[in-house]
Amino acid sequence: MNIRSIRQLVQAHAITEGAGVTVHRSIGTPALKHLDPFLMLDHFGSDNPDEYIAGFPEHPHRGFVTVTYMLDGHMEHRDSMGNRGDLVAGGVQWMKAASGVIHSEMPRQANGLMRGFQLWVNLPAAEKMADPAYQEYSPATVPELAGDGVRVRLLAGGYGGGRGVIDDPHTDLRYLDIGLAAGRPFETEVAGDHSAFIYVFDGEADTEGGGLLRHHLAVLGEGDGVRVVAGPAGARFILVSGRPLGEPVVQYGPFVMNTRQEVEQAFADYRDGRLVRARAMMTGA
Ligand code: FE2
């Protein structure tokens, strides 16, 4: 295995999103605008209700997929097409906004810890105006492999003979949540032609080319494998990879298209109440 080493280290920085929610953004910042096919990674994590209680009231999306993974807490998703979803600790949601979705993501808790990730995954040009789709999986349905100081939750893609619940056919998304005991090493293959990153959200870890602190994202360079060793207090991180699309990206806020004209069309459609074209079909368990 040719182990990938760190190509770029990005420290997530706190920004305010939604109606006043503090998130740590790593992909989608001046330091790392995109990591094709990934457009944005927000890590929300707070035990202070003032930092999350306002939630993400109704807002539109067009042209990409959002993947939301809850670590702690409870958020309620509602969309313009009648889907209602409960995002609870350990659960995962895949929403293909494609031609257009208007939704809200609001806390269903008044206090306590709220933690999770939202990843934006781009869609190929041919899928940007396709019908929306929706997958939601409860915590108990997410496969988990545990033993010998390693715990791997399979959100998407394969590991150890298992397969994650989320299927993103456009990028072959792989999304693992990995917990390691103190000093424990972890190795897995990563498709050589995929973009890949690690984001540490608990503890510290070492990988080829350097150390990773909490809120650090490491973009992995060329190779077909990854090796991580947990620090003295253990580590928990996500390992995410996907096939790059290699297409132009024109993004303005919640609209991500291939040309400026398409983005202007999205604004016009939203203004005129034409953003939502088709009802999303929900699948999940
Ligand atoms: Fe959203």
Residue 14 lies in a domain: yes
CA 211–ligand 1 middle distance (angstroms): 32
CA 61–ligand 1 middle distance (angstroms): 7
- What average pLDDT does this structure show over 26-41? 97
Per-residue pLDDT at 21: 86
Per-residue pLDDT at 69: 97
CA 141–ligand 1 middle distance (angstroms): 23
CB of 196 closer than 8 Å to CB of 226: yes
Domain span at 247: 6-278
Residue 15 lies in a domain: yes
CA 104–ligand 1 middle distance (angstroms): 6
Residue 245 lies in a domain: yes
Q: What is the pLDDT of residues 146-203, one digit of tens each?
A: 999 999 999 999 999 999 999 999 999 999 999 999 999 999 999 999 999 999 999 9
CB of 82 closer than 8 Å to CB of 129: no
CA 23–ligand 1 middle distance (angstroms): 13
Q: What is the pLDDT of residues 233-274, one digit of tens each?
A: 999 999 999 999 999 999 999 999 999 999 999 999 999 989
CA 139–ligand 1 middle distance (angstroms): 21
CA 31–ligand 1 middle distance (angstroms): 23
CA 191–ligand 1 middle distance (angstroms): 29
CA 254–ligand 1 middle distance (angstroms): 8
Domain CATH code at residue 203: 2.60.120.10
Residue 183 lies in a domain: yes
- DSSP class of 138: -
CA dist 29 and 46 (Å) reads 21
CA 79–ligand 1 middle distance (angstroms): 9
Per-residue pLDDT at 268: 96
User: In which band, very low, low, confident or very high, does the pLDDT at 83 lie, cut at 50, 70 and 90?
Assistant: confident
Number of independent structural domains in the chain: 1
CA dist 4 and 170 (Å) reads 24
Per-residue pLDDT at 285: 54
Three-state secondary-structure class, residue 86: strand
Which residues in 205-239 are b (16+ Cβ under 10 Å) and which e?
Answer: bbbbeeebebbbbbbbeebeebbbbbbeebbbbbb
Vertex 51, ends 68 and 135: CA angle to 5°? 15
Per-residue pLDDT at 283: 58
Q: Which residue type is seen at 81?
A: M
Per-residue pLDDT at 4: 98
Lowest pLDDT segment from 19-23, 113-117, 122-126: 19-23
- DSSP class of 127: G
The continuous run of DSSP H or E covering 224 comes out as: none
CA 54–ligand 1 middle distance (angstroms): 14
Three-state secondary-structure class, residue 234: strand
Residue 284 lies in a domain: no
CA dist 237 and 137 (Å) reads 20
Q: Which two tokens stand for residue 66?
A: 């959002």
Average pLDDT over the chain reads 94
User: In which band, very low, low, confident or very high, does the pLDDT at 279 lie, cut at 50, 70 and 90?
Assistant: low
Residue 20 lies in a domain: yes
- What average pLDDT does this structure show over 87-94? 96
Lowest pLDDT segment from 68-72, 235-239, 274-278, 279-283: 279-283
Residue 258 lies in a domain: yes
Question: For residue 55, how many other CB atoms are within 10 A of its CB?
Answer: 17
Whether pLDDT at 280 is above 60: no
Residue 1 lies in a domain: no
Q: Which two tokens stand for residue 114?
A: 């709220």
CB of 169 closer than 8 Å to CB of 151: no
Phi-psi region of 72 (alpha: psi -120 to 50; beta: other; left: phi over 0): beta
Per-residue pLDDT at 50: 86
Per-residue pLDDT at 244: 98
**How close are the terminal C-alpha atoms of the chain, in Å?**
36
The residue that leads in pLDDT, 275 or 281, is 275
